[in-house]
């Protein structure tokens, strides 16, 4: 936690630096274009440094993925660092009460981009992906969510030869694929849900204390009849997007 707190404070200092640069730019509007250009370059550099620090901290990345998964969400590689800072998720790892709504709105805004990426990278599944997004927009959440889960299993099997939701001795069957891969630290951390069982994959006996979180088994086997909500649909789409991004990491990053 000390490491995470230090990183958050460092990022906060970077944001203050960018703000000061912005103020200087405002004061310099009547000065030479070359001076303004230099200040813009400084601001861009500060932002790039902040992003690099985030990517080079696998412990932070893995813990954030775990935290998001505990609330039914999957991460997005395009998620702005500022969004995490605004809700102090980095520093405290406390889930803010309205964070679910904020994340849902974020994925709602990106839903067409997500669809186009899926259609482009999985042409054999393009028709299904279009139907998934259309069903969400038509509020057919009860039909949409199980279809998303089936596509996630199929996508992962197509790429690595084992289903995403399959487990062996309490661990994901995809764990061996991660262990055998020669991944750099950030990408290895990003594959946390492929190495450890998350709430969406828990069995009936394991998920007793997570009754309010979306779970594939309870939905597919008809135990949960109250899952068909907008937020749960977006949670499933966030997972679809995440699986696409990690399986096509080099094409998307």
pLDDT at 89: 46
Give the residue with greater pLDDT, 49 vs 36: 49
Can you tell me the mean pLDDT for 71-85?
77
pLDDT at 3: 52
pLDDT at 188: 84
Indicate whether 26 pLDDT > 60.
Answer: no
DSSP string for residues in the chain: -HHHHHHHHHHHHHHHHHHHHHHHHHHTTTS-HHHHHHHHHHHHHHHHHHHHHHHT-HHHHHHHHHHHHTTT----TT--HHHHHHTTHHHH----TTHHHHHHHHHHHTHHHHHHHHHHH-GGGHHHHHHHHHHHHTT-HHHHHHHHHHHHHHHHHHHHSS-TT-EETTEETTHHHHHHS---HHHHHHTHHHHS--GGG--TTT-GGGTTS--HHHHHTT--SS--SHHHHHHHHHHHHHHHHHHTHHHH-
Indicate whether 94 pLDDT > 60.
Answer: no
Indicate whether 174 pLDDT > 90.
Answer: yes
pLDDT at 205: 64
């Amino acid at each position: 936690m000390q490491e995470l707190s230090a990183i958050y404070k460092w990022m906060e200092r970077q944001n203050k630096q960018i703000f000061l640069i912005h103020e200087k730019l405002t004061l310099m509007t009547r000065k030479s274009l070359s001076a303004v250009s230099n200040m813009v370059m400084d601001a861009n550099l500060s932002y790039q440094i902040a992003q690099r620090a985030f990517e080079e901290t696998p412990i932070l990345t893995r813990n954030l993925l775990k935290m998001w998964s505990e609330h039914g969400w999957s991460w997005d590689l395009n998620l702005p660092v500022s969004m995490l800072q605004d809700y102090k998720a980095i520093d405290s790892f406390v889930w803010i009460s309205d964070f679910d709504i904020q994340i849902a709105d974020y994925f709602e805004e990106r839903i067409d981009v997500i669809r186009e990426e899926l259609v482009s990278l999985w042409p054999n599944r393009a028709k299904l992906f279009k139907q998934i997004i259309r069903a969400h927009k038509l509020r057919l959440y009860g039909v949409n969510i199980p279809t998303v889960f089936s596509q996630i299993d199929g996508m992962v099997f197509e790429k690595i030869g084992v289903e995403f939701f399959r487990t062996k001795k309490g661990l994901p069957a995809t764990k061996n694929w991660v262990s055998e891969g020669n991944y750099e630290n950030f990408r290895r951390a990003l594959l946390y849900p492929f190495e450890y069982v998350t709430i969406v994959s828990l069995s009936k006996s394991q998920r007793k204390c997570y009754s309010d979180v979306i779970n594939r088994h309870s939905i597919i086997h008809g135990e949960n009849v109250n899952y068909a909500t907008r937020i749960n649909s977006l949670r499933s789409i966030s997972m679809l997007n995440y699986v696409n991004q990690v399986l096509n990491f080099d094409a998307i990053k």
